[in-house]
Amino acid sequence: MSDQIEHTDSTHWGETSVDVTLQSGPKSVRAATHDLAPGLAVTMCGFGWFEVTTQATGNKISARYERFASAARDMLQAALMAKTYGFRWEDVKHGSDLEPHFGKPVPFDGYYTISDGEKKPLTFKDWIVTMNGGLSDDEFPWEEEGPWDALAVLEDQLQEADK
């Protein structure tokens, strides 16, 4: 991972612990945080599997990934959604808290659907379903552009949104 971190600004990353509920019961797990993604963390609840978790509830909001960078990309995308649509992940306690944003298009490139032959931006709800379903195509080492490249772009978008 150290050779990949150069793609993103490592000064944004931190570490905390998050209380999660597993099938075996509650557990405190180590988590990676990013200062541009308040309220979210990348956790590893099972050995070798990374996911995005809300710090306030300990609920997983993404699929499980083999690569940390894939979960980190989803975390920054979730942060960009919150920033773009004016909500805070710290305030999201239930899935219903997100319903006002379900029909809105995602604010990042490369996510679309084709319906009746028409290409449309993926909606927030469809993005959540896709992210939770593990339908992302980035877990393959032969891809031309990996999740670390996406992280750098998302960091720039989040910093621009603050201006």
Q: Looking up tokens 């990042």, which residue turns up?
A: 108
Read off the tokens for 72: 């980190």
The pTM of this model reads 0.76
Contact between 73 and 80 under an 8 Å Cβ cutoff? The reply is no
Instruction: Give the number of other CB atoms < 10 A from CB of residue 96.
Output: 8
Average pLDDT over all residues of the chain: 82
**Angstrom distance (rounded) from CA 81 to CA 73:** 12
Tell me what pLDDT residue 134 has.
55
The mean per-residue pLDDT over the stretch 150-161 comes to: 79
The residue-averaged pLDDT of 41-57 equals 90
For the chain, the domains span 5-161
How many residues are given for the chain? 163
Helix spans in 103-146 (H): 124-133
